[in-house]
C-alpha cells in the first residue's frame, strides 16, 4: 500500500511510528511523551469565534 495519496496526518503518523520504533524507546515512555505533545499542540489551536 502506497502512502503517496494518503492524508498528511497519516503520512506524519507513519513517519513518527517509524522514528520511535527505530529508536527502541520503551512503549510507556512514548505514550507519555505523546500525551505531552498532544496537550502542547491542543494549546496552540486558535480559539473558536464566539457565536452571535
Q: Is the pLDDT of residue 1 over 70?
A: no
Q: Which residue has the higher pLDDT, 23 or 49?
A: 23
C-alpha cell belonging to residue 1 = 500500500
pLDDT in tens, 22-40: 999 999 999 999 999 999 9
3-state secondary structure of 1: coil
Measured in residues, the chain has a length of 52
Amino acid at each position: 500500500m502506497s502512502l503517496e495519496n494518503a492524508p498528511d496526518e497519516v503520512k506524519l503518523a507513519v513517519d513518527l511510528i517509524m522514528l520511535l520504533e527505530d529508536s527502541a524507546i520503551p512503549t510507556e515512555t512514548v505514550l507519555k511523551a505523546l500525551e505531552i505533545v498532544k496537550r502542547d499542540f491542543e494549546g496552540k489551536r486558535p480559539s473558536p469565534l464566539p457565536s452571535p
